[in-house]
């Protein structure tokens, strides 16, 4: 049974008075503990862990466990260097198949956690690859066929942080330390039962729209606060929800005026230079790294990270009654509706410190490639009625394990023009194995177009390299994709919606990269 309305009142993310739980931070062990894995093999075991998520209650959550040097890490924050050799043996302690997808990594498909290579219960699989990616905020989660939505929701997710020379320079310039002043924030929404366990029970409507909860967790902490000092902080924001979009902003407690912050990185690492912003949309699986300057604050002042209200744009149904997300829940509090305003984190300024550092004017020497000769590949996102239910489609197709509707030439440079139907909903589209550059957005809704930072309709979160991009109803997004790789043989990847219930429902196509003639 879902948590009662009375018990929920103290957890509601819409009431800032609830934000009294100390934020979990990645430390030297435990939940989200930092594990250095450059050139040192890991053994990662999947299973059930007992964790205090809600205050005073133990939750049974699915988790990744690493034992090292007498310490235990749960959903570790894995840290590696660009150019190092990464090796992790997955020992599957679940009672069903699983894989680990190293989200955003440019790796041989056999290392990508593809559903074609499932790891059976009590079996092991070794993921081993050179880290080719630039520095940046990446993550890992399951990707077995038909179960990744439930397994990820049940707790299987963690940060995968890559460091390189540009990242090291930035850290030195601003005196940043991972877990202290450089803080990964994993944002998820959950439903809970009375015992404090996650409830994953999607009905037909949730399968169609995506499963959303009413308690917001940041680093597995409900209603968190963090004591900060007067300096610059880096926050690595990851939307690890199954389906919920976020519209992220900072403001002083009790004030509506939004604070200016700097976006310094997106999915694929640092931007060329910092970009000032007051808000940014973040869809499931997307990352954005921001710098927040607290040097002008006084002890006792507070800043909140919040998700602003927005139109969720569920345009797939004409009937207004169809949009009531709470109507099929008989017990407990209603869902926190999509697009509703809520808080994520309360920052309490505890003391003034001397800090004279400034945000660097340049961050990265990102090289732009020539896509002048690139062929265009058109991709459509749409919905088709199937009896009582509806099915989300890519190019009119649904996922079939052994079919490869997208075939591309190794080394090809392509422009992907992805069009989302007018009668649709926002879809965060994720490409495995390769990064891309967003070239333009057209037909954007007003709440997106008003955030454009250039004449191509791109927002600040479209800048830099991406592996996941949110495409709104009626919108067309063009991206430059470089399908170069140095791996042997045919490569089998996927392109899918990262609303995990949509992926499970077949909104995913296989991509085959061939070495011969496509």
Per-residue model confidence as pLDDT tens digits over 495-509: 999 999 999 999 999
Domain that holds residue 445: 375-514
Note if the pTM is more than 0.75.
yes
**Does any domain span residue 131?**
no
153: closest CA among 231, 59, 84?
59
Residue 371 · residue 468 · CB < 8 Å = no
Please check the confidence at residue 323 and state whether its pLDDT lies above 90.
Answer: no
Structure confidence at residue 141 (pLDDT) = 98
Please check the confidence at residue 327 and state whether its pLDDT lies above 50.
Answer: no
By mean pLDDT, which of 86-100, 311-325, 354-368, 484-498 is the weakest?
Answer: 311-325
Structure confidence at residue 328 (pLDDT) = 42
Chain centroid, CA 253 distance in Å = 26
Cβ-in-10-Å burial (0-12, 13-18, 19+) of 255 comes to exposed
Please check the confidence at residue 44 and state whether its pLDDT lies above 50.
Answer: yes
**Does any domain span residue 394?**
yes
Structure confidence at residue 474 (pLDDT) = 97
Q: Is 102 helix (H, G, I), strand (E, B) or coil?
A: strand
By mean pLDDT, which of 49-58, 79-88, 183-192, 508-517 is the weakest?
Answer: 508-517
Residue 366 · residue 464 · CB < 8 Å = yes
Alpha helices (H) along 461-518: 500-504
> What is the mean pLDDT of the segment spanning 325-350?
79
**Does any domain span residue 102?**
no
Burial 476-505 (b: 16+ CB within 10 A, else e): bbbbbbbbebebeeebbbbbbbbbbbbbbb
In sign, the C-alpha dihedral spanning 502, 503, 508, 513 is positive
Please check the confidence at residue 16 and state whether its pLDDT lies above 80.
Answer: yes
**Does any domain span residue 115?**
no
Tens digit of pLDDT for each residue in 256-311?
999 999 999 999 999 999 999 999 999 999 999 999 999 999 999 999 999 999 99
Please check the confidence at residue 219 and state whether its pLDDT lies above 80.
Answer: yes
**Does any domain span residue 500?**
yes
Q: Is 109 helix (H, G, I), strand (E, B) or coil?
A: helix
- CATH number of the domain enclosing 495: 2.60.40.420
Residue 339's region, left for phi above 0, alpha for psi from -120 to 50, else beta, is: left
**Does any domain span residue 468?**
yes
- Backbone φ and ψ of 162, nearest 5°: -105, 135
Q: Tell me the C-alpha to C-alpha distance, in Å, between residue 198 and each of 33, 301, 429, 452.
A: 22, 34, 26, 37
Count how many domains the chain has. 1
Q: Compute the distance between CA of residue 219 and CA of residue 240 in angstroms, rounded to an integer.
A: 10
Residue 181 · residue 231 · CB < 8 Å = yes
* Tally of CA atoms within 13 A in the half-sphere of 338 that contains its CB: 21
Residue 102 · residue 160 · CB < 8 Å = yes
Q: Compute the distance between CA of residue 2 and CA of residue 326 in angstroms, rounded to an integer.
A: 13
Residue-wise DSSP of 63-99: EEEEEETTEEEES-EEEEETTSEEEEEEEE-SSS-B-
The mean predicted confidence, pLDDT, of the chain is: 94
Q: Is 465 helix (H, G, I), strand (E, B) or coil?
A: strand
Q: Tell me the C-alpha to C-alpha distance, in Å, between residue 256 and each of 20, 233, 249, 333.
A: 21, 22, 10, 27
Q: What would you measure as the largest C-alpha separation in the chain, in angstroms?
A: 65
Q: How confident is the model at residue 315 (pLDDT cuts 50, 70, 90)?
A: confident
Alpha helices (H) along 93-164: 148-153
> What is the mean pLDDT of the segment spanning 374-394?
92
Structure confidence at residue 325 (pLDDT) = 41
Q: Is 283 helix (H, G, I), strand (E, B) or coil?
A: coil
Separation of first and last alpha carbons in the chain: 53
- Percent residues over pLDDT 90 in the chain: 90
**Does any domain span residue 476?**
yes
Please check the confidence at residue 440 and state whether its pLDDT lies above 70.
Answer: yes
Please check the confidence at residue 321 and state whether its pLDDT lies above 90.
Answer: no
**Does any domain span residue 398?**
yes
241: closest CA among 203, 189, 193, 198?
189
Structure confidence at residue 123 (pLDDT) = 98
């Amino acid at each position: 049974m879902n948590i009662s309305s009375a018990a929920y009142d103290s957890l509601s993310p819409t009431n800032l008075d609830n934000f009294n739980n100390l934020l979990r931070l990645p430390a030297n062990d435990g939940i989200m503990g930092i594990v250095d894995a450059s050139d040192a093999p890991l053994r990662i075991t999947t299973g059930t862990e007992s964790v205090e998520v809600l205050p005073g209650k133990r939750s049974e959550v699915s988790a990744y466990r690493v034992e090292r040097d007498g310490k235990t890490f749960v959903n570790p924050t894995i840290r590696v260097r660009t150019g190092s050799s990464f090796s992790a043996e997955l020992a599957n302690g679940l009672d069903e198949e699983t894989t680990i997808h190293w989200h955003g990594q440019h790796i041989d498909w056999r290392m990508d956690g593809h559903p074609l290579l499932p790891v059976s219960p009590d079996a092991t699989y070794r993921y081993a690859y050179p880290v080719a990616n630039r520095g940046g905020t990446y993550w890992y989660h399951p990707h077995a066929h038909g179960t990744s939505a439930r397994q990820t929701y049940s707790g299987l997710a963690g940060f995968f942080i890559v460091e390189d020379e540009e990242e090291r320079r930035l850290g030195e310039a601003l005196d940043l330390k991972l877990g202290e002043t450089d803080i990964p924030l994993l944002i998820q929404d959950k439903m809970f039962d009375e015992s404090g366990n996650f409830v994953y029970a999607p009905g037909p409507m949730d399968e169609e729209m995506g499963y959303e909860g009413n308690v917001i967790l940041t680093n597995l902490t409900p209603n968190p606060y963090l004591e900060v000092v007067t300096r610059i902080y880096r926050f690595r924001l990851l939307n690890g929800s199954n389906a919920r979009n976020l519209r992220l902003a900072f403001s002083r407690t009790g004030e509506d005026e939004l604070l200016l912050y700097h976006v310094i990185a997106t999915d694929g690492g640092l931007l060329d230079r910092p970009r000032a912003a007051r808000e940014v949309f973040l869809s499931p699986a997307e990352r954005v790294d921001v710098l927040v300057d607290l040097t002008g604050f006084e002890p006792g002042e507070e800043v909140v990270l919040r998700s602003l209200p927005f139109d969720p744009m569920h345009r797939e149904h004409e009937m207004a009654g169809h949009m009531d997300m709470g109507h099929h829940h008989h017990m407990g509090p209603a869902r926190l509706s999509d697009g509703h305003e809520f808080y994520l984190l309360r920052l309490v300024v505890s003391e003034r410190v001397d800090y004279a550092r400034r945000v660097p004017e340049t961050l990265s020497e990102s090289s732009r490639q020539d896509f002048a000769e690139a062929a265009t590949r058109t991709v459509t996102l749409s919905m088709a009625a199937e009896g009582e239910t509806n099915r989300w489609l890519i190019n009119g197709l649904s996922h079939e394990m052994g079919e490869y509707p997208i075939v591309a030439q190794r080394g090809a440079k392509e422009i992907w023009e992805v069009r989302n139907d007018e009668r649709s909903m926002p879809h965060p589209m994720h490409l495995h194995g390769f990064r891309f550059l967003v070239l333009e957005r057209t037909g954007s809704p007003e709440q997106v177009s008003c955030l454009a930072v250039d004449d191509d309709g791109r927002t600040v979160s479209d800048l830099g390299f991406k592996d996941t991009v949110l495409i709104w109803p009626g919108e067309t997004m063009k991206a430059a994709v470089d399908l170069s790789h140095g791996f042997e043989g045919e490569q089998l990847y996927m392109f899918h919606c990262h609303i995990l219930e949509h992926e499970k429902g077949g909104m995913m196509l296989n991509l085959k990269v061939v070495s011969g003639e496509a």
